[in-house]
Amino acid sequence: MYQYDEYDRKIVFERAEQFAKQVERRISGDISELQFKPLRLQNGLYMQLHAYMLRVAIPYGLLSSKQMRMLAHIARKYDRGYGHFSTRQNIQYNWPKLEEVPALLRDLASVDMHAIQTSGNCIRNITSDHLAGIARDELLDPRAICEILRQWSTFHPEFAFLPRKFKIAVTGAPDHDRAAVRIHDIGVRIVKNDAGEVGVQVLAGGGLGRTPVIARVIREWLPTEDLLSYCEAILRVYNQYGDRKDKYKARIKILVNTLGVDEFRRQVDEEWAHIKDGVMKLTPDELERVSKFFVPPAYKKLADSDKLLASHRLDKTIGRWAQHNVALHKVPGYNAVYLSLKTKDIPPGDVSDTQMEQIADLADEFSFGEIVATHSQNLVLPHVETSRLPELYAKLVELDLARPNVDLISDIICCPGLDFCDLANARSIPQALELSQRFEDLDYQHDIGELNIKMSGCINACGHHHVGHIGILGINKRGEEAYQLALGGAPGNDAAFGKIVGPAFPPEKIADAVETVVKRYLEIRSSADERFLDTYRRVGMAPFKEALYGAA
Amino acid sequence: MGESEELVVITARWLADGAPVYLTAKGEWSRDFQQSKVFPAEAGEAEAAKRGQSDQPLVADPYTFKIERRDGSLDALSTRERIRSTGPTTPLRRPDRAST
């Protein structure tokens, strides 16, 4: 993984010291909250419903065991003994004290981490495929590109005050988008052109929120050496013409919609013509230099283990877990293992300090010290020997991290909602937990098959409800919580937004409504192999609507 | 104040930890919502604006929200303020460090 050099370290430590002085001035009353707010937001510090919340960046989700131990230390020393993995591969702490945040940032800096640009109208953490570097369907490891984009966007002086926040995601697997690039402000796909050359496809103007838009292809194929200058051109057009008066019209998706994709592309190309051959050209040397940070670990030379994995998947004890929580790996003899952070009792994405330390130990023991956070709020140990899966499984069971539910109905993505978030209209965590309990029976879950529920407590859509197979949106209906149900969303190559079924449900009815939808699906699916999403696409909304609201 | 008059209390965020606090009849800030002083809406707005200036080293962003008196207690009219005054309704991993 990327290693900080002396300049990186200096910048991050200096930033912590700068913030320490800003906090001092705020506590002494030298500056007001109005003056302090933009300073704290630049350092990832929000003021939420009950307390401050600090969002820590995890670039493209990749963590070392050493960093995970520090996250555990921070949870224990500065918070309430847990952290919350978010839907953008970051971790959030819900209870830091203001005067302790500078010390917290110093501790983070000691392991090459920070909270810079995790808030505010700037380019946020670059996200990617959680199987980057190991997926069999990957054309090229995207992490070098992610790291280059991270370095370019960090403290970029021109883009510190954009019209709105800006999110970039990169995937190296063109046929299987696990990074949801089509719902990002810029999506980068590593692809081949007709001549077979590897480069990037650039999409822009995607996003969720009040106006969900699927990103449009702005450039079908671009040599990788031009990626930075092309992104710079997109950001310049957005920075100049994005709406700064109305925050609901300020994201790039609105600009692309307003101008039309062809005109937006024309403006980007015009801007790009001025800078494409300048200092942002990525030389082969630079690409190689950064790529070297992502050389594979010292894998053993092992025989192909697909048959062994197949036998694990039939095993009475670990079969289901091996089927759902173990992914194929491009190196023979290895697999990636998902650690499910979805149980029926704990908010999705929450991990205790003790668990974090134990996960770090497991990463050292089984996975070359690497851990990856997924945007689905789970974790991955990316390099586990297939022959050691039973051993790892036994240890994960002890830690309550072996629930075999990845991509099943209880693997719910969920924002913090009105229990924590200052923007939320309705709670989401209690509903997620109720659904997890409702569908706790693993036989039932496995019978239902792949079905993603995604839930947001407000229209800002941090819980990605628009792209849930079943999406749930919490709204405020005359001062009370209510929940809209949408069906048919998807985040990947076949990205689509769910359609609202009908009138919203009160909190005590939303789990019943989901169960009604699931039961109808089980009645009408063409076979046990037809996924919920495929059934929905085949039959449409009507059977589900009828089940929920009766015949029209 | 008349029976039909809209009633509010003043809340803010305690600077040290961001916790919700409520302005009491003594003019101090309390973490206990039930200790809140009740204002007619207009007077509450004016006092909140004043406190936003005078109390800024202690608190951030004072504002008012509507309440009702019910059985001798104060009741926030919005779900948001009800949850804010009592804490998350979800299980936490462990109790507050400060309370252990």
Q: Which residue of B has its CA nearest to A45?
A: B18
Asked if A80 and B97 come within 8 Å (Cβ–Cβ), the reply is yes
pLDDT in tens, A361-414: 999 999 999 999 999 999 999 999 999 999 999 999 999 999 999 999 999 999
Token couple for A66 = 């050493």
A345 within 8 A of A96, measured Cβ to Cβ: no
Alpha-carbon distance of A465 to A491, in angstroms, equals 10
**CB neighbours of A163 closer than 8 A, spacing ≥ 6?**
A121, A238, A239, A242, A243, A244, A250, A251
Count helices and strands (H / E) in chain B.
Answer: 2, 6
pLDDT in tens, A418-438: 999 999 999 999 999 999 999
Asked if B91 and A98 come within 8 Å (Cβ–Cβ), the reply is no
Predicted local distance difference test score (pLDDT) of residue A389: 98
A474 within 8 A of A459, measured Cβ to Cβ: no
Q: Which residues of A touch B94 (CB under 8 A)?
A: 80-82, 352
Q: Which residue of A has its CA nearest to B59?
A: A33
Burial bucket for residue A298 (CB in 10 Å: 0-12, 13-18, 19+)? exposed
Q: How far is CA A537 from CA A264, A523, A531, B70, in A?
A: 32, 15, 10, 51
pLDDT at A75 over 80: yes
pLDDT in tens, A502-549: 999 999 999 999 999 999 999 999 999 999 999 999 999 999 999 999
Mean pLDDT of A435-446: 95
User: How many other C-beta atoms are found inside a 10 Å radius of the C-beta of residue A407?
Assistant: 16
Distance from CA of B32 to the nearest CA of A (A): 13
Q: Which residues of A touch B98 (CB under 8 A)?
A: none
A42 within 8 A of A116, measured Cβ to Cβ: yes
Q: Which residues of A touch B17 (CB under 8 A)?
A: 51-52, 95, 97-98
Asked if A82 and B93 come within 8 Å (Cβ–Cβ), the reply is yes
Strand segments (E) across A146-247: 168-171, 186-192, 198-204, 216-222
ipTM attached to this prediction = 0.91
Q: What is the DSSP string of A355-411?
A: HHHHHHHHHHHHSTTEEEE-TTS-EEEEEEEGGGHHHHHHHHHHTT---S-TTSTT-
Mean pLDDT of chain A: 96
Predicted local distance difference test score (pLDDT) of residue B93: 54
If you search the block for the tokens 């994005």, which residue do you land on?
A242
Is A187 in a helix, a strand, or coil? strand
pLDDT in tens, A16-52: 999 999 999 999 999 999 999 999 999 999 999 999 9
Predicted local distance difference test score (pLDDT) of residue B98: 39
Q: Which residues of A touch B57 (CB under 8 A)?
A: 27-29
Nearest Cα residue to A123 out of A42, A240, A223: A42
Predicted local distance difference test score (pLDDT) of residue B80: 93
Q: Which residue of A418, A425, A428, A476 to mutate against B (max B Cβ within 10 Å)?
A: A418
Predicted local distance difference test score (pLDDT) of residue A485: 98
pLDDT in tens, A235-280: 999 999 999 999 999 999 999 999 999 999 999 999 999 999 999 9
pLDDT in tens, A289-344: 999 999 999 999 999 999 999 999 999 999 999 999 999 999 999 999 999 999 88
Query: Which residues of A fall below an 8 Å CB-CB distance to B?
Result: 26-29, 32-33, 47-52, 80-82, 95, 97-99, 345-347, 350, 352, 418-420, 424-427, 429-430, 433, 476, 479-481
- Each residue's pLDDT, cut to its tens digit, for chain B (100 residues) gives 555 689 999 999 999 999 999 999 999 999 999 999 999 999 999 999 999 999 988 999 999 999 999 999 999 999 999 999 999 998 765 443 333 3
Nearest Cα residue to A382 out of A334, A322, A311: A334
